[in-house]
Amino acid sequence: MSEHFFEEEEFGRPYDGRIVRPERLTAAQLESIGHVLADLHTIGKSYKKGIDNRFSFERVADTYAEVRGRLPAYFKRIVRTLDDELDYLQNYLESKLPKGIIHGDLFHDNIIMKGDKVVAVLDFEAACRGKFIYDLATAEVLQSREYVALRDARVSIMTHAFLYGTAVFEGIRAYWNAEQGVLYGLKIREHMERIRHNAGMLLMEDLPSVDELVGIVIETVRRNGFREDAYIRPSFYKSTRAIGVRLHHLDHEMYVVTMPFGNYIDIDKGVRLMTSSWRRNADEALPARGKIVGGYVNMAFQKSEAELNGFDEALVLTPDGHASEASAANMFVVRDGILLTPPVNDDILEGVTRKAIFELAEAYGITVEVRSIDRSEIYVADEMFLCGTGVQLSPVVELDHRKVGDGEIGPITRRIRQGYFDAVRGRTPALAHWVTPIPIGG
């Protein structure tokens, strides 16, 4: 649901403010909400009966403990707020005061903000009864050819894919164009073609056709009614409950989950890379082109090493020392006006976004050269950027404490980035084949 503005008397009185989705709340807004909570905790006796009845503090606390671990990562600030509040209510609130509320007031359609200030709680009684903010738990997900609420989607801990990483997946973005009122799915068909190929690599057969998969993805997104940027993750996974390392004689199932999604890393100021000590897994060991779930542990080593050393991302080398890609993104380098990128036999993912960059470069008359790239060649390059579903198009300004070019976003990167973001939001008629309009439904 998008943000809603209230300037009319929709609720019996005028409110000059807006509802803000939980994942968009800023630290300042959370602090303001905290002050409101403090006031609500001391609410007088008229609500005490309701508080102590079936919406008791104990029941609310137990329910929160049950669902806390299922909340998505982008709720982390709110989870911290809830944790702090629960701790306060359990351990520090004066015993004579009612332990009334866990965060009905944070329920996204129950609070109105103006800037950083809370201007209204629409349903005060509901706030005092402990409603929850967990809208995402009711989002619909496709699992095993049925649409179910995310909270009801389950796999056993004995599932082969859980035990051994025997699954393939795709990451797809959908971009909201507010001016047009349209949600555009990016390169859905290309992603579905790739997941079918990769599933076959894991000996999965009898898969839906590309057309069927495209329809499944579109329907899953449509059912969630997003009016904001979203992420879509389809996956085929080995569903047999079995101990034993193998790929054959195992059943497989499919799921598609989708959620609101912003930037994976900062795409505006430029990212800082370090060369990882962890090499990319070679094709003859674990094919990077396969987008195999178990293989992403290799990327996790690289990403964590970079972040724990104060960088944004990792440059990953092949076993023979050539630049391969980032932890989970393809790379391009600019030298003397020519766009360079590693070949597919340098253990890269054959990226859908990478191919889109080829198309943009051709449209702009920029020469692309596909060849192996040495680490030191990047030190003397003019520009560099990463691309992929997660990182989108992210300029690189530093590698191993050395500026890339002049340490700023270069002209070729800037031009390609602008063209990319225009295209993905359906603003470029010549590239309309990139995107699929997705109906908004519920």
* Rg of the Cα atoms in the chain: 24
Q: With a cut of 50, say whether residue 60 has pLDDT above it.
A: yes
User: Could you tell me the pLDDT band of residue 59, with boundaries at 50, 70 and 90?
Assistant: low
Contacts 24+ apart (CB under 8 A), 345-349: 345/283, 346/318, 346/322, 346/372, 347/280, 347/281, 347/282, 347/283, 347/288, 347/318, 347/319, 348/280, 348/288, 348/289, 348/324, 349/288, 349/289, 349/291, 349/325, 349/388
| Shared fold status for 139-260 and 271-409 | no
The CATH number assigned to the domain with range 271-409 reads 3.20.10.10
Listed by start position, the domains of the chain span 4-135, 139-260, 271-409
To 5 degrees, how large is the angle CA 341–CA 353–CA 140? 150
Q: With a cut of 60, say whether residue 46 has pLDDT above it.
A: no
User: Could you tell me the pLDDT band of residue 4, with boundaries at 50, 70 and 90?
Assistant: very low
Alpha carbon distance 342, 370 (integer Å): 6
User: Could you tell me the pLDDT band of residue 50, with boundaries at 50, 70 and 90?
Assistant: very low
Q: With a cut of 80, say whether residue 217 has pLDDT above it.
A: yes
Type of residue found at 390: G
Alpha carbon distance 320, 122 (integer Å): 62
Alpha carbon distance 290, 236 (integer Å): 12
Type of residue found at 215: G
pLDDT of res. 140: 67
Alpha carbon distance 351, 370 (integer Å): 14
Domain 139-260 has CATH 3.30.470.10: yes
Q: Each residue of 61-102: pLDDT tens digit?
A: 665 566 566 555 545 555 665 676 667 666 665 554 444 434
The pLDDT of 365-394, averaged and rounded, is 96
pLDDT of res. 142: 73
User: Could you tell me the pLDDT band of residue 203, with boundaries at 50, 70 and 90?
Assistant: very high
pLDDT of res. 391: 93
> C-alpha distances in angstroms, 194 versus 26, 209, 315, 431?
38, 12, 24, 20
275, 315 Cβ separation under 8 angstroms: yes
Q: Specify the length of the chain in residues.
A: 442
pLDDT of res. 57: 55
Q: Each residue of 349-363: pLDDT tens digit?
A: 999 999 999 999 999
356, 420 Cβ separation under 8 angstroms: yes
Q: With a cut of 90, say whether residue 141 has pLDDT above it.
A: no
Alpha carbon distance 397, 15 (integer Å): 45
Q: What secondary structure letter does DSSP report for 10?
A: T
User: Could you tell me the pLDDT band of residue 226, with boundaries at 50, 70 and 90?
Assistant: confident
Closest CA to 152 of 141, 167, 163: 141
The pLDDT of 307-327, averaged and rounded, is 95
pLDDT of res. 8: 32
pLDDT of res. 44: 34
User: Could you tell me the pLDDT band of residue 25, with boundaries at 50, 70 and 90?
Assistant: low
Alpha carbon distance 35, 203 (integer Å): 56
Closest CA to 412 of 337, 340, 345: 337
Alpha carbon distance 107, 412 (integer Å): 44
Per the prediction, the chain carries an average pLDDT of 80
Active site residues: 291
pLDDT of res. 407: 95
With 0-12 / 13-18 / 19 or more C-beta atoms within 10 angstroms meaning exposed / middle / buried, residue 209 is exposed
pLDDT of res. 86: 66
pLDDT of res. 55: 38
Higher pLDDT, 368 or 19: 368
> C-alpha distances in angstroms, 12 versus 8, 17, 140, 345?
9, 15, 33, 65
Q: Each residue of 294-304: pLDDT tens digit?
A: 999 999 999 99
Q: With a cut of 60, say whether residue 427 has pLDDT above it.
A: yes
Q: Global pTM?
A: 0.70
Alpha carbon distance 173, 337 (integer Å): 30
The secondary structure of 355-386 as a DSSP string is HHHHHHHHHTT--EEE---BHHHHHT-SEEEE
99, 93 Cβ separation under 8 angstroms: yes
Tokens found for residue 330 = 């393809």
pLDDT of res. 284: 92
Closest CA to 226 of 352, 140, 133: 140
